[in-house]
């Protein structure tokens, strides 16, 4: 099951679109909707919205594959969406090594949701935009309109 429109809206809102390269909060060269620029990529003239959307779809597919590979329990659509946004933002290795995933794979859904909220720092400092994003993921996780559908 793909990311819902609510999940995509959260991701796009959280990332924003920038047509030129910039350093994200962690100092990583980024462009478009949070696309991390690879050493083999160069965008001296920036990108347009269509190129940004293409990058987003490729990066999103990687995040979705990681969630499907790592999670061993059934997920409601909102839970899936929150995890895909988390992985898109922080990468699959962070999820793989997290207490969040451990709690989730033990079937402790509420404890896993609380773990989302702990990922609001850049280094040792709380980051307001990450805090807002994690809170939005937490609310998406608990969204009653996205609970009926189950992702395996």
Could you give the residue numbers annotated as active site? 15, 24
What H or E segment, with its residue span, contains residue 31? strand 29-32
* φ, ψ dihedrals at 102, nearest 5°: -60, -50
- Estimate the share of the chain in helix, then strand, then coil, as percent rounded to the nearest 5: 55, 15, 30
* φ, ψ dihedrals at 16, nearest 5°: 70, 170
CA angle 134, 136, 138 (to 5 degrees): 70
């Amino acid at each position: 099951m793909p990311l819902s429109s609510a999940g995509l809206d959260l991701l796009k809102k959280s990332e924003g679109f920038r047509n030129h390269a910039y350093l994200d909060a962690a100092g990583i060269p980024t462009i478009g909707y949070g696309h991390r620029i690879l050493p083999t990529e160069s965008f001296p003239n920036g990108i347009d919205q269509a190129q940004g959307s293409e990058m987003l779809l490729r990066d999103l597919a990687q995040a979705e594959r990681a969630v499907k590979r790592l999670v061993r329990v059934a997920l409601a659509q909102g839970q899936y969406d929150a995890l895909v946004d988390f992985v898109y933002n922080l990468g699959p290795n962070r999820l793989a090594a997290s207490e969040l995933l451990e709690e989730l794979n033990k079937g402790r859904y509420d404890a896993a949701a609380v773990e989302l909220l702990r990922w609001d720092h850049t280094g040792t400092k709380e980051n307001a935009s990450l805090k807002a994003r994690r809170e939005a993921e937490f609310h998406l996780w608990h969204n009653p309109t996205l609970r009926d559908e189950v992702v395996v």
